[in-house]
């Protein structure tokens, strides 16, 4: 069971923000075009609503010229992106990567996930990053399956071409959006591009702006008018096509972050009721700040929620919900369940840099000021955030590494980082963790209160960091059994072994007879 902790002021504020958008969406989501709006999706990182709400920032006045400027930028960038999307379709068409649809098959399993084109090119082969081991189980149980990918990081058309070539050479079954969409769908996307901002303006105007938080929502709806959104809407069109494929039953195993691309896809799938069962996989670690991840029961009526929501561990099971939740296999964390011959007397301080550049800079500035001369400092950059721009904050005696996380854990005495699920992994292996507070933005707190000061703690200055390091170094000698007990609790609450049995149970992948 979760540890009962008195609700903090921070948690209360997050709930107020969440509830405000939830109430607004009861009306907004009656308009299918607004499923693509990032403000309404509750994503805290694609817009400034949550940051403005938590900081009590005074908002600038939005004049008519502001709206006109936003609309000009929206149309310009939308049609540029549409042209690029068309070119990608041509690149796909000449790649020869197509999926053969089998009318004699009763069932199709589709894996809705991200294909990281840069990773595919770098490794010169396709490696599943999100549903590790799922393909092996599908093959073992005799399932007919294909990937329904979202290509990520493919702004470079030559890279996309190279990635598609590798995917084809590796014989990866892919049912791409470029294969699914028809001429009618391409025309529908143009209609969406032209009319979408007017749907937003009409809805924003209808809001009752008596209270501050609704005024903030209104302000952010206007401020994000220039965001390109038709790519989210294309997922609705893809979903409609999938729902009418020549199969009796279709299962969609979906990487589920509850964003616009997910809501649109599921809405499209439900245009053929009962045909597709959706398994929304939240098989990752997240913070309470990720408001979009927390599924809103009120959205059930809009057909945009999975039939089954699969979470990474018991910690993420809601206390009450009308939705169908289960604990699933932690597919990305299989290494956690393998024995590690880790010695406590190691001398490495492992620094895990963040996906967010702001956090990375904050961590390195603090480390630069601290006296870590007695330690071997090992820094692992985030693959999506190049370390070169922060070279001026790196000392020559620090090692910059790219090894796998678990090989680094084996020699780590203490881990330092921010805004990363990898910190929970470290703590689950009884490696003490120090999280660096981001003083420039809201706190992306990923740890529960249990274990604070014993297995993990926060630092906001170089002096505070040194105190925490010395404290944990001492604890590893004097309080190791207590730390190990908390680490075991973390492992049980945040993770579930990705065994074949757990995979089959979570996604109902029983062998065909």
Domain assignment of residue 429, yes or no: yes
Total H helices, total E strands in the chain: 17, 12
The per-residue pLDDT for range 390-435, each reduced to its tens digit, is 989 999 999 999 888 999 998 899 999 987 889 999 999 999 999 9
Given a cut of 80, whether residue 142 has pLDDT beyond it is yes
pLDDT, residue 166, reads 94
Give the pLDDT confidence score for residue 102 in this predicted structure: 77
Q: Are residues 353 and 230 both part of a single domain? A: no
- H/E run at residue 492: helix 480-494
Same domain, 287 and 373: no
Mean pLDDT of the chain, nearest integer: 91
Indicate whether 449 belongs to any domain. yes
**H-helix or E-strand spanning residue 235:** helix 230-242
Query: Quick one: pLDDT at residue 17?
Result: 95
**Coil vs helix vs strand at 429:** coil
Q: How many CA atoms lie less than 13 Å away from 315 in the CB half-sphere?
A: 24
**CATH number for the domain that contains residue 461:** 3.40.50.12580
- Residue 3 pLDDT > 50: no
**Number of domain units in the chain:** 2
Going across the sheet that includes 325-327, the strands are 145-152, 107-116, 249-255, 276-282, 308-311, 325-327
Identify the pLDDT of residue 444. Answer: 74
**pLDDT class of 79 with cuts at 50, 70, 90:** very high
Q: Does residue 145 fall inside a structural domain?
A: yes
Residues 17 and 136 reside in one and the same domain: yes
Helix 64-95 vs helix 212-223: angle between axes, to the nearest 10 degrees? Answer: 50
pLDDT at 101: 86
Q: Is residue 1 part of a domain?
A: no
pLDDT for 146 equals: 96
Residue 388: give the domain boundaries.
336-494
pLDDT tens digits for range 92-116: 999 999 998 877 778 999 999 999 8
- The three-state secondary structure class of 114 is strand
Same domain assignment for residues 135 and 265: yes
For the stretch 194-251, pLDDT in tens is 999 999 999 999 998 888 999 999 999 999 999 999 999 999 999 999 999 999 999 9
> Has residue 499 got a pLDDT over 90?
yes
**What is the pLDDT at residue 2?**
46
Residues 466 and 508 in one domain: no
The CA angle 172-173-175, to the nearest 5 degrees, is 130
């Amino acid at each position: 069971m979760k540890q009962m902790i008195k609700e903090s002021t921070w948690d209360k504020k997050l709930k107020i923000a969440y509830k405000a958008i939830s109430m607004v969406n009861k009306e907004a989501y009656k308009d299918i075009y607004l499923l693509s709006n990032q403000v309404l999706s509750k994503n805290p990182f694609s817009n400034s609503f949550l940051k403005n709400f938590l900081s009590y920032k005074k908002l600038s006045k939005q004049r008519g010229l502001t709206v006109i400027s936003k609309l000009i930028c929206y149309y310009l960038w939308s049609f540029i992106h549409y042209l690029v999307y068309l070119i990608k379709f041509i690149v796909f068409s000449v790649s020869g990567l197509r999926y053969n649809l089998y009318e004699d098959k009763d069932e199709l399993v589709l894996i809705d996930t991200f294909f990281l084109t840069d990773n595919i090119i770098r490794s010169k082969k396709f490696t599943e990053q999100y549903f590790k081991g799922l393909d092996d189980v599908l093959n073992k149980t005799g399932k007919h399956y294909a990937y329904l990918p979202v290509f990520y990081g493919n702004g470079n058309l030559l890279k996309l071409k190279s990635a598609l070539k590798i995917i084809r050479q590796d014989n990866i079954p892919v049912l791409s959006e470029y294969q699914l969409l028809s001429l009618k769908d391409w025309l529908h996307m143009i209609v969406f591009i032209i009319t979408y901002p007017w749907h937003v303006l009409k809805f924003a105007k209808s809001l009752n702006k008596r209270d501050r938080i609704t005024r903030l929502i209104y302000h952010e709806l206007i401020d994000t008018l220039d965001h390109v959104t038709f790519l989210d809407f294309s997922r609705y069109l893809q979903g409609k096509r999938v729902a009418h494929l020549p199969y009796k039953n279709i299962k969609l195993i979906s990487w589920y972050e509850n964003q616009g691309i997910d809501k649109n896809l599921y809405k499209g799938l439900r245009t053929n009721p009962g045909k597709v069962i959706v398994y929304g996989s939240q098989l990752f670690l997240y913070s309470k700040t990720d408001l979009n991840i927390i599924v809103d029961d009120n959205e059930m009526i809009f057909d945009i929620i999975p039939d089954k929501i699969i979470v990474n561990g018991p910690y993420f099971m809601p206390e009450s919900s009308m939705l169908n939740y289960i604990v699933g296999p932690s597919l990305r964390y299989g290494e956690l369940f393998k024995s590690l011959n880790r010695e406590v007397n190691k001398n490495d301080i492992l620094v895990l840099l963040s996906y967010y550049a702001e956090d990375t800079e904050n961590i390195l500035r603090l480390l630069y000021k601290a006296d870590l001369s007695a330690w071997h400092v090992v820094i692992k950059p985030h693959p999506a955030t190049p370390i070169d721009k922060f070279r001026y904050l790196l000392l020559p005696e620090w090692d910059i590494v790219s090894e796998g996380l678990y090989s680094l854990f084996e020699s780590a005495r203490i881990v330092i980082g921010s805004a990363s699920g990898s910190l929970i992994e470290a703590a689950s292996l009884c490696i003490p963790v120090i999280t660096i507070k981001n003083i420039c933005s809201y706190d992306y707190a990923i740890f529960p209160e249990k274990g604070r000061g014993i297995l993990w703690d926060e630092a906001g200055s170089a002096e505070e960091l040194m105190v925490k390091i010395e404290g944990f170094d001492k604890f590893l000698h004097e309080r190791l059994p207590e730390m190990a007990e908390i680490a075991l609790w973390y492992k049980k609450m945040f993770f579930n072994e990705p065994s074949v049995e757990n995979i089959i149970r979570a996604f109902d992948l029983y062998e065909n007879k």
